[in-house]
Amino acid sequence: MVDFTLTDEQKDLRELAHNFAEKEIRPVAWDYDRDGTWPQEIIEKAWEVGLMNTHIPTEYGGPGLDYLAGCLIEEEMGWGCSGIGTSLMCNGLATAPIVIGGSEETKRKYLGMLAEEPKLASFCLTEPDAGSDVSGMRTTAVKMGDQYVINGSKCFITNGGYADFYTVYAKTDKEAGHKGISAFVVDRNLDGVTVDKKEDKLGQRASNTATISFNDVAIPAENMLGEENHGFKLAMMTLDRTRPGVAAMAVGIARAAFEFATDYSKERVQFGVPIAMHQAIQFMIADMATKIEAARLLVWQSGALLDQGKRNTLASSHAKRFSADTAMEVTTDAVQIYGGYGFIKEYPVEKLMRDAKIMQLYEGTSQIQRLVIAREVLMPRRAAEPAAA
Ligand SMILES: Cc1cc2nc3c(=O)[nH]c(=O)nc-3n(C[C@H](O)[C@H](O)[C@H](O)COP(=O)(O)OP(=O)(O)OC[C@H]3O[C@@H](n4cnc5c(N)ncnc54)[C@H](O)[C@@H]3O)c2cc1C
């Protein structure tokens, strides 16, 4: 049976997230965007009410919510402000490799740390010469006794300037391409860890995006996540789990733009009638509505598959690609419906259009999602294959 009805618990959670977005995020979102303000106060409040770290299992102090519930929260955060939302949700990306591959001790220490206090973690995969193709990474981790020594630099790291620890991908076998990558947890306060550069961005300006360098950083060998040289697989498994949430945030951005545009179309009068009376505007609004509904269904499917313990690689790429492109298209159309006013910063929709762009770029660009979709379609794996864990 297919039933799209949310449980009472899911509805309550969505309401909690919506109210938080409406009361704590929306009133400051456009100011924070203008000034690039770091949303520390909002992070602390979101942590207090239980909207952060939702996937941390209960045995490590988290709420242990399911993936669909996480998607409901992320849509509301995206509706409020996806820049602030990205800052709030990034711990989920950073901790997924720990949940999947960390030892019991590592989980207790690092997941427990985030559950106990409003602290932050970052996911460090991208490098200047290794974006879509992570096999080109140059960061190395060399085993020395009971330690690994890490050298290299990671760019575009969300929350990088404020994180207390990082999940870092590095080459443990330089000759083996993506099969020579391993993942590690690295504490921020270790000697040799530096935050080098904060990026000035087109959109999501309230989120922090930084370059992090590791210069002879020695970490205990037990901080390796999973097995040596299995880091690429861990990163891909992480993205399977986090793309539904990112896609949900894109749906939230699109929904916000859609709401502003429909309201405006009923108020703005041209040629003697509200512009909503013109069929060209109606059709734009109809297409926006359909895309948002379709995107949300893909998001829910990709989250629900994970909750059923099934592999969701194809579904999460469908969701991420379609929702990101939907966010871009819907926000662009929202600017169109506002006419010249849409281009002016005093009106709300240009921010949403700028914010939407990143959804097509981070956690795998829309082209990379298409590569994954094509691979899964042309060389399908068994549908009932369980999610690797
Ligand atoms: C604001 C922001 C936050 C980010 N946060 C994080 C983070 O927290 N952690 C992290 O590790 N990374 C993060 N990233 C990095 C992000 O994931 C990468 O920017 C992204 O994966 C693309 O890599 P690239 O920028 O090097 O682009 P490139 O890989 O150089 O791609 C350039 C263009 O070529 C296309 N392309 C590349 N290869 C192919 C191909 N085989 N076929 C077709 N098209 C192709 C791409 O789609 C893109 O359009 C962030 C980036 C930004 C901007």
pTM above 0.75?
A: yes
Q: What's the pLDDT at 3?
A: 84
Q: What is the pLDDT of residues 135-178, one digit of tens each?
A: 999 999 999 999 999 999 999 999 999 999 999 999 999 999 99
Catalytic status, residue 41: no
* Nearest alpha carbon, ligand 1 atom 12: 126
Contact 352, 331 (CB under 8 A): yes
For ligand 1, the distance from its centroid to the CA atom of residue 287, given in whole angstroms, is: 28
Best residue for ligand 1 mutational test, from 361, 370, 371, 375 (most atoms within 8 Å of Cβ): 361
Following DSSP, what letter does each residue of 46-73 receive, concatenated? Answer: HHHHT-SSTTS-GGGTS----HHHHHHH
For ligand 1, the distance from its centroid to the CA atom of residue 135, given in whole angstroms, is: 13
Q: What is the pLDDT of residues 290-308, one digit of tens each?
A: 999 999 999 999 999 999 9
Please work out whether the CB of residue 149 comes within 6 Å of at least one atom of ligand 1: no
Q: What is the pLDDT of residues 103-133, one digit of tens each?
A: 999 999 999 999 999 999 999 999 999 999 9
Residue 51 has pLDDT above 80, yes or no: yes
Residue of 75, 363, 376, 385 with catalytic role: 363
Beta strands at 121-124 and 165-171: parallel, antiparallel or unpaired: parallel
Can you read off the two tokens belonging to residue 351? Answer: 């921010």
* Three-state SS letters, the chain: CCCCCCCHHHHHHHHHHHHHHHHHHHHHHHHHHHHCCCCHHHHHHHHHHCCCCCCCCHHHCCCCCCHHHHHHHHHHHHHHHHHHHHHHHHHHHHHHHHHHHCCHHHHHHHHHHHHHCCCCEEEECCECCECCCHHHCCCEEEEECCEEEEEEEEEEEECCCCCCEEEEEEECCCCCHHHHEEEEEEECCCCCEEEEEECCCCCCCCCCEEEEEEEEEEEEHHHEECCCCCHHHHHHHHHHHHHHHHHHHHHHHHHHHHHHHHHHHHHCEECCEEHHHCHHHHHHHHHHHHHHHHHHHHHHHHHHHHHCCECCHHHHHHHHHHHHHHHHHHHHHHHHHHHHHHHCCCCCHHHHHHHHHHHCCCCCCHHHHHHHHHHHHHCCCCCCCECCC
For ligand 1, the distance from its centroid to the CA atom of residue 370, given in whole angstroms, is: 14
Q: What's the pLDDT at 385?
A: 59
> Averaged over 182-195, what is the pLDDT?
98
Residue 72 has pLDDT above 60, yes or no: yes
pLDDT band at 388 (very low <50, low <70, confident <90, very high): low
Residue 78 has pLDDT above 50, yes or no: yes
pLDDT band at 267 (very low <50, low <70, confident <90, very high): very high
Please work out whether the CB of residue 157 comes within 6 Å of at least one atom of ligand 1: yes
Can you read off the two tokens belonging to residue 282? Answer: 């109606």
Residue 210 has pLDDT above 60, yes or no: yes
Q: What's the pLDDT at 381?
A: 80
Please work out whether the CB of residue 126 comes within 6 Å of at least one atom of ligand 1: yes
For ligand 1, the distance from its centroid to the CA atom of residue 132, given in whole angstroms, is: 5
Q: What's the pLDDT at 389?
A: 45
* Nearest alpha carbon, ligand 1 atom 7: 157
Contact 33, 83 (CB under 8 A): yes
Contact 315, 302 (CB under 8 A): yes
Best residue for ligand 1 mutational test, from 156, 207, 232 (most atoms within 8 Å of Cβ): 156
